[in-house]
Each structure stands twice: as C-alpha cells, then as structure tokens.
Amino acid sequence: MTKETKQMSAIILLTVPTIIYGGNFLLGLLSGDYQELALTPFQLAMFRAGHAHAGVLVMLALVVQLFIEHSSLKGKMAWSVRAGFPLAAILVSGGFFAAAAGEGRTEPNAFIAILYAGMLVLTVSLVLLGIGLLRDK
C-alpha cells in the first residue's frame, strides 16, 4: 500500500464519526425528538437522502483508494481521482442538506447546484478511474 493510499484512507476513515453523529441526529428527528424544528416531509426526505449518500459515497471513496494503486493513473491525475471521490461525497450529501435548508421548505432551493456539482465530480472520477484500470500500466 502506498503512502498516498494510507494517508487518504486514514483521512476518509476519520470522517466516518461525523456520519455516525448525523445518523444519530437523523434518528432523533425521525423519532420526534426535535419537533421544535418543524421540518417538512420534503426536508426529512432530503436529510435522509443526504445521510445515505454520505455513508455510501464515503465507503466508495475508501475502496477506490486501492483501485487507484492498480490503475495506470500517475501523478496529478491519480491525486485528482484520489481526492475526487471524497470530495464528491461531501458535495453530493451536502447538496441534499443545503437544498433543503430554510423554514418550511417544500422544494429545493438554489443550493441544489452543490448536489449537481458533486454528481459531476463523482462521474468524472469514476470514468477516469475506469479508464485508468483498463489501460495497461
């Protein structure tokens, strides 16, 4: 395992407690512990989606660190893809939360653009890694 893979994997693993804390907060929301927040069904659904995407994309970001080692990606390209996956996790999940922010919101606000930016980063990272894995080293 390369030094870069170890470092990025360690950083990614250190983000997992924030997802755990978010899950605990979400459980409280869904259990009625924070009724003073008066969230709409739309907001609750967006918060659920944000939390789910955070967990899944962070685990993907962790796994692909090993794939990058076995790809033909080198230098700045490898580093861009290595960082792109955790960045996508932040942008996609953050986009769900930000798009639902605001009192009584029943549809996404302009911050939905963050989600789309995350989707773009994720797509580019996936395609580059896929190509890097298919090409000979």
Task: Please state the pTM of the whole predicted model.
Answer: 0.91
Q: Average of pLDDT values for 97-101?
A: 97
Per-residue confidence band for 116, with pLDDT thresholds at 50, 70 and 90: very high
* CB contact set of 84 (below 8 Å; sequence gap of 6+): 121, 122, 124, 125, 128
Does 75 have pLDDT greater than 70? yes
Does 15 have pLDDT greater than 90? yes
Q: How many domains does the chain have?
A: 1
Q: How far apart are CA 109 and CA 105, in angstroms?
A: 8
What residue numbers bound the domain in which 72 lies? 3-134
Per-residue confidence band for 34, with pLDDT thresholds at 50, 70 and 90: confident
Q: Is the separation of the CB atoms in 96 and 46 below 8 Å?
A: yes
Alpha carbon distances (Å) from 127 to 32, 69, 81, 131: 42, 16, 10, 6
| Phi, psi (degrees; rounded to nearest 5) at 114 | -60, -40
